[in-house]
Amino acid sequence: MLALASLWVEMKCPEHGLERFRIKIVKRFNMNPSTIMPKYRSRRKASGLSRLLVGRDVSSQEIEDYLIKYFREKGLWKSILKMKLEV
């Protein structure tokens, strides 16, 4: 994975019908190599996540697993239509 990637998410929204947003994935070399740290949006959006800061040893599978767990805990997993990792 490169130093900067993003995850595009499409989900059903009861208010707007279809909502698309991007979660930036930033690889940091000055933090613990196996850390995944979320950063949240200042304005309210569906996911609440703005970006994920990840250590240099975190794989794309670990990022995907983390996001699936996050969306399940928030109760949004059933409404997600598509998730696509872009490099």
Model pLDDT for residues 40-59, shown as the tens digit of each residue = 877 666 567 888 999 988 88
Quick one: which of 78, 81, 79, 83 has its CA closest to 66?
83
- What integer pLDDT is reported at residue 1 of this predicted model? 44
Q: How far is CA 85 from CA 4, 24, 29, 77, in A?
A: 11, 10, 21, 16
Residue ranges per domain, the chain?
Answer: 4-86
pLDDT score recorded for residue 2: 47
List per-block mean pLDDT (blocks of 10 residues) for the chain, which spans 87 residues.
74 84 88 90 71 89 90 90 85
Residue 44 has a pLDDT of: 64
- Global pTM value: 0.80
The sheet carrying 49-54 orders its strands as 36-40, 49-54, 17-27, 4-13, 80-86
